[in-house]
Amino acid sequence: MSTVETRGVRLRYAVAGEGEPVVFVNDAGFGAWLWSHLQPALVGPYRTVVWDLRGTGESDTPGGPYALETLLEDLGAVISAIDERRVHLVGAGLGGVIALEYAREHDHVASLTVLGTAEGDAVDADALASLTAPADDPDALRESLEAAFAPGVLEAHPEEIDRIVEWRARDDADPDGWAAQRAAWLGADLPDRYEITTPALVVSGAEDRIVDPTATARLAEELPRGEHLPLEGGHLFPVSESQVVADELLAWLDERTD
């Protein structure tokens, strides 16, 4: 584990593998466990970077709400710390918005993959807030996942859900961090999306109750080089449909790697 400091805030990140770097950007509130099913599939051909947004896991939690511009600076600090001039970005939810805006402002992003992402006005604020639960209450952590997965997933995979609950208790943001990150997402606007000319794979979950999947599809249509990939699953389809997502992501990256 490594850390980088920006404007007095310490951010935790971890690097694994070789090759062109793939930087993962977390969804609101969730810790780096979110990538536990995807990151290992990329290690080897790619150098992977996972990090905790401010307010999450082992990164500092300054007072909120957070501005999208601040989270963009944080991503820039992590990319500078790994000393790479060409990166691929993979972001989920809020992380997808951060990745999109970063690519609009920087020309060293080789490709974008955004998962379950849309602007703040396409996010169900109540459903998003329902994902928050106390770290010391396993039952509440488990119940709060109902809105994150498609119906029936929790009942069909109890052992995996138990593992996720343990990860959440250790890695997720505390209530203040959740609220600060939610504010950044709900206030996010992408008025200049036509300026984002980076190749972008935009993936939606058909049963996403946090982000309207039609808004995710519309985002792909409005990006100059966007491609839409609809998949089964709820908002956390990168977890429930991880094998499919990993296969699609590897194929996408391989076509855009020097």
Closest alpha carbon to 91 in 255, 201, 208, 205: 201
Identify the band that residue 141 occupies on the pLDDT scale cut at 50, 70 and 90.
very high
Distance (Å, whole) CA 126 – CA 143? 15
pLDDT digits (tens, 9 = 90+) for 34-87: 999 899 999 989 999 999 999 999 999 999 999 999 999 999 999 999 988 899
Asked if 23 and 103 count as a contact pair (C-beta separation under 8 A), the reply is: no
Identify the band that residue 190 occupies on the pLDDT scale cut at 50, 70 and 90.
confident
Mean pLDDT for 160-183 is 96
Q: Given this model, what pLDDT does residue 146 score?
A: 96
Q: Given this model, what pLDDT does residue 155 score?
A: 96
Tell the residue number behind the tokens 């500092």, with chain if given: 60
Mean pLDDT for 124-141 is 96
Q: Given this model, what pLDDT does residue 194 score?
A: 87
Identify the band that residue 192 occupies on the pLDDT scale cut at 50, 70 and 90.
confident
pTM over 0.85: yes
Answer yes or no: is pLDDT of 26 > 90. yes
Burial of 69 (0-12, 13-18, 19+ CB in 10 A): exposed
Distance (Å, whole) CA 100 – CA 21? 17
Q: Given this model, what pLDDT does residue 83 score?
A: 86
Distance (Å, whole) CA 207 – CA 139? 23
Answer yes or no: is pLDDT of 193 > 90. no
Percent of the chain predicted with pLDDT > 90: 95
Mean pLDDT for 22-32 is 97
Mean pLDDT for 195-209 is 97
Q: Given this model, what pLDDT does residue 7 score?
A: 92
Answer yes or no: is pLDDT of 244 > 90. yes
Distance (Å, whole) CA 248 – CA 202? 11
Identify the band that residue 1 occupies on the pLDDT scale cut at 50, 70 and 90.
confident
Instruction: Calculate the average pLDDT of the chain.
Output: 96
Report the Cα–Cα distance between both ends of the chain, in Å, rounded.
28
pLDDT digits (tens, 9 = 90+) for 112-125: 999 999 999 999 99
Residue type (1 letter), 211 = V
Q: Given this model, what pLDDT does residue 257 score?
A: 87
